Amino acid sequence: MKFSTTAATFAVLVSGTTAFTVASTGSSAASVVGSSIQRGASGRTAGSTTQLSEKMAEELGTPCEDECAMDSYPNMPPSVHPGVNTGQAMIDLLNHAKENGYAIPAVNCVSNSGINACLEAARKNDAPVIVQFSSGGSQFYGGKGLDNTNYQAAIAGAISGAFHVRTMAEQYGVPVILHTDHCSKKLLPWVDGLVAASERYYEKHGEPLFSSHMIDLSEEPIEENIDICKNYLARMSKIGILLEMELGITGGEEDGVDNTDVPLEDLYSKPEEIYQVYKELSPISDMFTVAAAFGNVHGVYSPGNVKLEPKILSRAQEYISEKLGGDAPADKKPVSFVFHGGSGSDIADIRESLDYGVIKMNIDTDTQWSYWEGIKNFESKYHDYLQTQIGNPEGPDKPNKKYYDPRECMRSAETTTVDRLEQSFGDLRCQKILGLGEMGEATNVLESSVFGPRKGGLPV
């Protein structure tokens, strides 16, 4: 989503029924609803006709203890579990956020190091998290040396990242929604490849590889936008994937998309437009979100330069509730919003938006900086040890390997990112959600000569 300092972007999760339709291997579909979900022997939820996949740890034969071995959480709906949540479990998680007035941080990642920092931050904050990939981030994850004709590198990179998230989210013991970010019309082959991968994964595991995908056709005519999204929703909802679509344009610049000079009128979505989307998509499935432009921007801005108007969210809820009449939910919040482009937003505006139904907030610019800041600080602190392989202030023959080992500066980057995400979790009231308590100290880890114990390593 793209835009200027006067418009804000939110995504809308339509709150209809909480059931989703899962295509079965027979001629009919199986409707998996919260009241009928039970725990299968595999540790995944099971409907009457559809058995969801076993844990990745069980499939791979990797250790799975403590939080990893849990089937559910003390404070969450029983369907929500450690690892990637899709279908009904994902809907239950998002509904829990809305009902309890918090939003889930959605963090763009470009490496397994960044993913691990997100998972560590989620566990430290006793909270769920959304890990998401852009097309450019997916290509980088696969490797910039790979040819990306027909987006093959971006497809392979996102799939590789998905399996890393699926494997490690269980180990950290946190529930994750696995999402892909903005996909414009020219990038649709990228998402096509990922949906196809989820369909193949579903055939073997009973759930999709990804939880949700965003289709961003906000630059196209609204009729074309809706028609294309209807086709994707029909395909994706059959296997429990949520669709996020966009109306209006988010200002600023992100991942090579520059919308700093778009017309002002394109930076705002009208309640009538959101309702039009609702009317056309909801007969297909209620598993969709709408990104509505409304006051925030991608990029870096000083505090006070981004002017949000959260009360427009409240007015949109009222308008759509009025249209729904007796079918409107009791809380008069028929939609759930996702907040895009929040850098530089005032905390009071962010908190107010939560009261009007925001359940997800995208984070990219600030974590890009926090990751770099960790590397920058490490280089500054150990500068004289990082100029040559041999020779430092301690002597001309002293080796520097323990300083230029890339794990050292990367761990510094992870630590600053975990710290920055703690601020985001706090801003979004997304702390102490799961009921797991504090994260214990890691043991049996590789000792770092610079930092001390390094989490995730094994002793040598």
Angle at which helices 271-281 and 311-324 pack, to 10 degrees? 50
Structure tokens at 266: 């394109």
Burial tier of 377 (Cβ tally within 10 Å: 0-12, 13-18, 19+): middle
Which bin fits 361, alpha (ψ -120 to 50), beta or left (φ > 0)? beta
Q: Are strands 288-293 and 9-14 parallel, antiparallel or unpaired?
A: antiparallel
Number of alpha carbons in the 13 Å side-chain half-sphere of residue 232: 29
Structure tokens at 130: 């959304």
User: Distance from first CA to last CA of the chain, Å, rounded?
Assistant: 47
Q: How many CB atoms lie within 10 A of CB 9?
A: 33
Beta-carbon contacts of residue 16 (< 8 Å; ≥ 6 apart)? 282, 286
What CA dihedral angle connects 243, 13, 132 and 297, to 10 degrees?
Answer: 110
Which of 92, 126, 181, 427 is labelled catalytic? 181
DSSP 8-state class, residue 62: -
Helix (H, G, I), strand (E, B) or coil at 48: coil
Using DSSP, how many helices (H) and how many strands (E) does the chain show?
13, 21
Separation between Cα atoms, residue 328 and residue 314, nearest integer Å? 14
Phi, psi of 13 (to 5 degrees): -95, 115
Sign of CA dihedral 13, 332, 424, 445: negative
Residues 109/368, Cβ–Cβ less than 8 Å: no
Exposed e or buried b for every residue in 211-246, given b needs 16+ CB within 10 A?
Answer: bbbbbbbbeeeeeebbebbbebbebbbbbbbbbbbb
Q: How far is CA 311 from the centre of its chain?
A: 25
Residues 158/85, Cβ–Cβ less than 8 Å: no
Active site residue 181: yes
Q: Are strands 175-180 and 251-254 parallel, antiparallel or unpaired?
A: unpaired
Separation between Cα atoms, residue 223 and residue 260, nearest integer Å? 24
Q: Which residues are catalytic?
A: 181
